[in-house]
A and B are shown apart, each in its own frame.
Chain A
Amino acid sequence: MSECRKIAVFGGVYNNHLALTAALEDARRRGADTAFCLGDMGAFGPHPDRTISILREHDVQCIQGNYDNSIGNELPDCQCGYTDPRDNHFARISYAYTLANTSLTNREWLRQLPAQRRVRLGKYRVFMCHGSPRRTNEFLWESTTSTHFLEHLCRNYDADVILATHTGIKWHRPLADGRQFVNVGVLGRPENDGRTNVWYALLSAESDFQVEFVPVAYDHERLAAQMRSENLPGEFVATILSGWWTTCLEVLPAKERRRGRY
Chain B
Amino acid sequence: MRLPIVPLAHLDDLWFQVTGTLCNLACTHCFIRCTPHNRSFGFLDLGTIRRSLDESVPLGVKEYYFTGGEPFLHPDMPAILELTLRYGPATVLTNGTLFNDEILRRLRAAEDASPYSLEIRVSIDGYRRTENDAVRGHGTFDRILCGIRQLVEREFMPIITVTKTDDNQGDADLFDGFVRLMRENGYTRPRVKILPTLRIGAEAERRRGYGTEERVSMEMLEGFDQGTLLCNHARIVSDRGVHVCPILIEASDSRLGATLAEAEQPFALTHQACFTCYQYGTICSNPTSQSHDV
Interfacial residues, chain A to chain B (CB-CB below 8 A): 66, 69-70, 79, 81, 83-85, 131, 134-139, 141-149, 151-153, 155, 249-258, 262
Contact among B58, B171, B189, B294 for A148, CB-based, below 8 A: B58
Whether A69 contacts B294 by the Cβ 8 Å rule is yes
The answer for the CA separation of A138 and B288 in the assembled complex, in Å, is: 9
* Chain B residues, Cβ within 8 Å of A85: 171-172, 175
Contact A143-B89, Cβ < 8 Å, known A254-B119, A258-B157: yes
* Chain B residues, Cβ within 8 Å of A138: 291
Query: Closest residue to A78 on the B side, CB-wise?
Result: B294
The answer for the CA separation of A254 and B287 in the assembled complex, in Å, is: 11
Whether A257 contacts B289 by the Cβ 8 Å rule is no
Q: Does B48 contact A (CB under 8 A)?
A: no
Whether A148 contacts B88 by the Cβ 8 Å rule is yes
Q: Does B12 contact A (CB under 8 A)?
A: yes
Query: Closest residue to B293 on the A side, CB-wise?
Result: A135
Interfacial residues, chain B to chain A (CB-CB below 8 A): 10, 12, 56-63, 87-89, 111, 115-119, 155-157, 171-172, 175, 189, 191-194, 227, 286-294
Whether A253 contacts B191 by the Cβ 8 Å rule is no
Whether B291 contacts A144 by the Cβ 8 Å rule is no
Minimum Cβ distance to chain A for residue B63 (Å)? 6
Contact A144-B116, Cβ < 8 Å, known A253-B89, A255-B111, A262-B189: yes
Whether A152 contacts B60 by the Cβ 8 Å rule is yes
* Chain A residues, Cβ within 8 Å of B111: 254-255
> Which of A153, A253, A262 is most buried by chain B, counting CB atoms within 10 A of its CB?
A253
* Chain A residues, Cβ within 8 Å of B57: 148
Query: 24 A-B Cβ contacts within 8 A?
Result: A70-B294, A79-B294, A81-B291, A84-B287, A135-B227, A137-B291, A137-B294, A139-B289, A144-B63, A144-B117, A146-B87, A146-B89, A148-B56, A148-B61, A148-B88, A152-B10, A153-B60, A155-B60, A250-B287, A252-B288, A253-B117, A254-B119, A257-B189, A258-B155
Question: Given A254-B156, A258-B157, A262-B189, list of 4 further CB < 8 A pairs?
Answer: A81-B290, A84-B175, A84-B192, A134-B10
The answer for the CA separation of A68 and B149 in the assembled complex, in Å, is: 42
The answer for the CA separation of A136 and B225 in the assembled complex, in Å, is: 14
Contact A149-B88, Cβ < 8 Å, known A79-B294, A142-B115, A143-B116: yes
Whether A137 contacts B60 by the Cβ 8 Å rule is no
* Chain A residues, Cβ within 8 Å of B115: 142-143
Minimum Cβ distance to chain B for residue A75 (Å)? 9
Minimum Cβ distance to chain B for residue A55 (Å)? 20
Minimum Cβ distance to chain A for residue B188 (Å)? 9
Query: Closest residue to A262 on the B side, CB-wise?
Result: B189
Whether A144 contacts B289 by the Cβ 8 Å rule is yes
Whether B292 contacts A81 by the Cβ 8 Å rule is yes
* Chain A residues, Cβ within 8 Å of B61: 146, 148-149
> Which of B57, B172, B192, B291 is most buried by chain A, counting CB atoms within 10 A of its CB?
B291
The answer for the CA separation of A251 and B189 in the assembled complex, in Å, is: 13
* Chain B residues, Cβ within 8 Å of A258: 155, 157
Contact A146-B288, Cβ < 8 Å, known A254-B156, A257-B189: no
* Chain A residues, Cβ within 8 Å of B12: 149
The answer for the CA separation of A36 and B87 in the assembled complex, in Å, is: 32
* Chain B residues, Cβ within 8 Å of A144: 62-63, 89, 116-117, 286, 288-289
The answer for the CA separation of A67 and B294 in the assembled complex, in Å, is: 10
* Chain B residues, Cβ within 8 Å of A249: 189
